[in-house]
Structure 1
Amino acid sequence: MVPDLGALVPFALVVLVAVYFHTVTGFGVAMVIMGLASSAGIVSVATLASVVSIVTLMNGVALRGNLHHVPWKIVGVMAVAVLPASVVGVLLLDYLSSEAADVIQVLLGLIIVHGGVSLAWRPTPLSTVSGQGSFAYYGFLGGLIGGMFGIPGPPLIYHLYRQPMSLAQIRSALIFLNAFIAGARTLFVMVQGQLHTPEIVLSALCLPLVVVATLAGKRFPPPCSAATMRRIAFVLLVVMGLTLIAPVLMKWLG
């Protein structure tokens, strides 16, 4: 079922903020949309995950003119690990969707909180670039979470922001990997025949919003350092995650 106009307007605002944030940092679109839209109960988590994947894929246009910043060796290792994990994640969400909606909401909240805490936990970059095995490991985790919720961010953000690379490299790597995972997830969902009218309509409505917010992010980035952006992301993600977890805990305890 497609949300009515009263729900679509706040959803559109959420998408604008999320895509702008994602464009200037390399992450955030999935977590912001899933966090705020899930809290508002606009549509189901499964529907949101599909919409988020398509929106993230659209936002890949932010890489235009910036592909030379992508650290391809690192990204290639993570991309290979992402594919099988994305499939497992989609299948796991299918199972949980029919078994425990509250569990899904708590898991989603925990993942979003973890994404925020990860940014604050290790703000200082490592002295040397990590080994390929670690990139494959975090790529697999990102693919698994991306397959479940359309949010590959937390493991990828945590690992890449620790690397001794420029902000442009980190941002470009994250945008590419997020788009890659989103594309893999969307393709698998389509093959399964699970891309229905609500997902298609919401995604179509998001298209012009993605274009506007992406252009705004590229032309008018905020005058913030990488450290400041991490702090902003930390607070935002932790608040959103706790907002999802608290109602379920109160329900269970009550």
Structure 2
Amino acid sequence: MQLYHHPFSLDSQKVRLALEEKGVDYTSFHVNPVTGKNMDSSFFRMNSSAKLPVFKNGSHIIFDTIEIILYIERIAVVTVGNNGIAFSSEEVIEWMHKIQEWNPKYFTLSHIPNKYRLFVSKFIRKVVIARMAESPDLASAYHCKLREAYETEEKLKNPDVVSRSKEHLVKLLDEVETKLNETTYLVGEEFTMADVMFIPVLARLVLLDLEDEYINSRPNIAEYWGLVQQRPSYKKVIGKYFNGWRKRKTLMKTCAHSCSASGFGR
């Protein structure tokens, strides 16, 4: 089993948390979208959407985050055994879909300084054009990604797009805050795949230095956030890259790679 992912990818974090929580072994392949590695023809042929993560088990390839997590559950029952492992309930799956409905793309990009965001956007467009020239048989698919990059920049100029994303997030957080009045975790007293889906959302807010506004202002979520950070899966999947000084190290390493590649025309 192979997972193509990256620490920056929110959906990748969800899948990796599920793999760690279920104790399923896999081979890890880092594909950095900020440096355009997801546009390399080898990856693009496998997934022309260029989105992460991609889960591959033999000839079976899955792109949808929730489908991957439910597939991991089935694998865990077979390979790890039935002791303490159960399939997600309808309520858990309902929460998984509810969390996944929030798209962090425009919210995240709106909180990145323009000069950095535009630099990366321009760099990615250069990568797409270069890969298009290298693999003319994929030209139409690459052209779609190029058009998507321009459309993203246009949408970010529309305040309504960002406002709707923020409103959706606030509604989700408020609903979780109310739910955590009754339970320790999202669905009862046991950690579930619903929590696996939600933890990266909170981690993204912390990464953007928005913890006070969105997490600490909600006491139940703040307590929940402190609790889930103690889990070994969190420490391995997210904390390893973004806790304390590690956040700057992770971001600076990627920034340096992009600047170097751009400067040398590579």
- The answer to which structure, 1 or 2, has the higher relative contact order (CA under 8 A, 6+ apart) is 1
Q: What's the TM-score once normalised by structure 2's chain length? A: 0.31
Q: Which structure has the greater CA radius of gyration?
A: 2
- Higher helix content, 1 or 2: 1
Q: What's the TM-score once normalised by structure 1's chain length? A: 0.32
